[in-house]
Amino acid sequence: MAALSLQGPKSRAVLNRCCETPLDGLKFFRMAPNVLAGRTVTISRTGYTGDLGYEIWMEAADALPVWDALLEAGDDFGTIPCGILAMDMARVEAGLFMLDVDYTAATHAWIAGQKSSPYEIGLGWTVALDKPGYFVGRRALEREAREGSTWKLVGLEVNWEGLERLYAAVGLPPQIPAMAVRASLPVRKDGRQVGYASTSTWSPLLKKYIALVHLERPHYAPGTRVEIEITVEHHRRYAPGTVVALPFYDPEWKRK
């Protein structure tokens, strides 16, 4: 098997040009068989970019003709190949966490502090406390729903002027990584560490330096001012930032 991901606001228009059956009726997170470039494929309305997008599943031998058909159909839309580094930036913009980077599965956690509840990582909508019946962890989740989470995964926008000042002090412009940084960076408030960033990146779309951060209560409230560790010429410094709700980018057309 092989898979190709076609993402972006024009992805449906591109697929409608080269698929036997139009994609207009395929709903969010659904899949359906189709024919593309004369090959039988399965298309799901899914992706890891937070934008309108589709994933195309096919036999490995059919991948190249399907690839060529997609690039040809999308030529005047500006369709270009992108790799996992671009996707990593896009998923941070969309507030999408990555397993073993932004959170640890309970089956792999060594200590309790490495575990996360659905509410802590933004998956509270998956917890059906309104339904009857018991499940493992229900009482703990009911308590968390009432009292709030000890930690939460939220967004952080780094203050650009503050970042510029840190680099200007050593005679440099801001040195921004060309890819998402999957590294734990301390976040502090009033000189005390209150959490950490698990992924940070420059957002080409938003023109901001952003991060997925895990913060303790009450510092995860949107609008809270904190500082994130930045390495400036091999020295640890702290840049100011503001806590924001996730996602950073949420286009209205992605579910239409």
Nearest to 95 by CA among 222, 194, 188, 256: 222
Q: Are 12 and 121 part of one and the same domain?
A: no
Same domain as 236, residue 120: yes
pTM for the full model?
Answer: 0.93
If pLDDT is split at 50, 70 and 90, which confidence band does 39 have? very high
Residue 70 pLDDT class (50, 70, 90 cuts): very high
15/137 same-domain check: no
Helices of type H across 122-207:
138-147, 160-168
Percent of the chain at pLDDT exceeding 90: 95
pLDDT, one tens digit per residue, over 44-64 is 999 999 999 999 999 999 999
Question: Quick one: tokens of 66?
Answer: 């399907």
Give domain status of residue 91, yes or no.
no
pLDDT, tens digit, 9 for 90 and up, residues 182-239 = 999 999 999 999 999 999 999 999 999 999 999 999 999 999 999 999 999 999 999 9
Q: Which domain holds residue 17?
A: 2-81
Q: How far apart are the first and last CA of the chain?
A: 29
Q: Which residues pair with 3 in a beta bridge?
A: 57
Tokens 């409230």 correspond to what residue? 221
Residues 154 and 206 in one domain: yes
- For residues 84 and 108, what is the distance between their CA atoms, to the nearest angstrom? 24
CA 242 to chain centre: 18
Q: Is 124 found in the same domain as 65?
A: no
CATH code at position 24: 3.30.1360.120
Is position 102 within any domain? no
Under 8 Å between Cβ of 214 and 97: no
Q: Are residues 121 and 63 in the same domain?
A: no
Does 36 lie in the same domain as 130? no
Residues 199 and 116 in one domain: yes
Of 61, 59, 54, 48, the C-alpha closest to 19 is 54
- CATH number of the domain residue 132 falls in: 2.40.30.110
Shared domain check, 159 and 240: yes
Burial class (CB in 10 A: 0-12, 13-18, 19+), 110: exposed
Give the closest residue to 127 by CA, choosing from 143, 113, 111, 138.
Answer: 138
| Structural domains in the chain (count) | 2
